[in-house]
Amino acid sequence: GVFAFLADRAVSGVEMAGPASYARSIRLSGGPAVFEVSEVAPGELVLTAQLRELRDLPALLARVRRLFDLDADPVGIDQVLGAGALAASVRAVPGIRLPGAVDGGEIVIRAIAGQQVTVPSARAMLGRFAAAAGEPFDSGVDGISTLFPEPAALPAVLDDAYRGPAARRATLRTAAEALAAGALSVHAGADPAELTASLVKLPGIGPWTAGYTVMRVLGAPDVVLTGDVALRAGARRLGLGSDVAAALAPYAPWRSYASLHLWRAALAAARKDLP
C-alpha cells in the first residue's frame, strides 16, 4: 500500500516507484544522497543507499522508517479497525501503513499543490517545480536527476511553473518564504497542535492542508480530514455514509489508518477494482 501511494505521487526526476520499490533523491547533512527501498519477499524490505558521508546513515534510516511507518503496531491497529464496518477491508488489506515523509517542508508544498485538484494534476505541477527549481543531482540512478526544490528557490519560478488559481500561487509563495526564513518549522519532532496552529495561520492553509501535513510528517495516527472528497467517496463505497467524521468516529485513536481504507476504497472504485 505504501509503495502504491508513493508511486501515484512520484515526482518526475526526484522519485521513481513501482509495485514493490521506491527510490528518490534526498538532502542530508553531508550532501545529496539517493536511496531505494525494495520488497524482496513478503514483509521483507531492503534499503540500498548511496551517501557522501557515512555519518548520515542513522538519519537516513530514521527517515525511511518514518516513510514506511515501520514502527507502527499493525496487529493492534487492525484489532480496532477490524471490529466494525471496515472488517472486510481490513481482511483484504491487513496491516495497512501510514505513508510518512522524508522532509517536512516538502510535504507542506505537496499538500498545498494538492488542494482541490486530482493527484495526477498535483504530481504534474510538482514535476514542473522540480524541473524549474530543483537542484540537478548526478545520482547514478536512471530516472533520478534532481533534488526536490529548496523552499527559497520556489518563489522565483512560481509565475512560470504554476498553473492554477492566483490565490493558491500566493499560498505557495507565502509558505515557501516562511519555510525558507525559518518562520515555519515542519519536522518529525513537532507538537501536532502547535504545528497545526502554525500552518493555519498562513493565508490559504486550512484544516485539510494542516491535517494532511501532520498526518504525513508526524505520523499522527488519529487525524480526521473531514473535507476530503475522496474520503467521502470511500465512506459511501464502504457503506459508512457521507459524513466522514461520523464514519471514522468508531476507529479512534487510529482514524488516520481508517482513512487509508477509505482512500483505498475510493481509488479502487474509480479504477473499478472492487466488485
- Just list the catalytic residues: 228
The SS3 of residue 34 is strand
- Residue 147: count of CB within 10 angstroms of its CB: 23
Amino acid, single-letter form, for residue 28: L
163 and 51 in contact (C-beta within 8 Å)?
no
61 and 47 in contact (C-beta within 8 Å)?
yes
Listed in sequence order, the residues at least 6 apart from 72 whose beta carbon sits closer than 8 Å to its beta carbon are: 97, 98, 219
Rg for the chain, CA atoms, rounded: 18
CA atoms of 264 and 87, how far apart (whole Å): 14
CA atoms of 27 and 68, how far apart (whole Å): 18
Strand order in the sheet with 21-28: 15-18, 21-28, 31-41, 44-50
- How far does Cα 144 stand from its chain's mean position? 19
CA atoms of 225 and 242, how far apart (whole Å): 13
Which residue reads 499493525 in cell numbers?
74
CA atoms of 211 and 196, how far apart (whole Å): 7
Cell numbers describing residue 41: 519477499
Cell numbers describing residue 61: 534510516
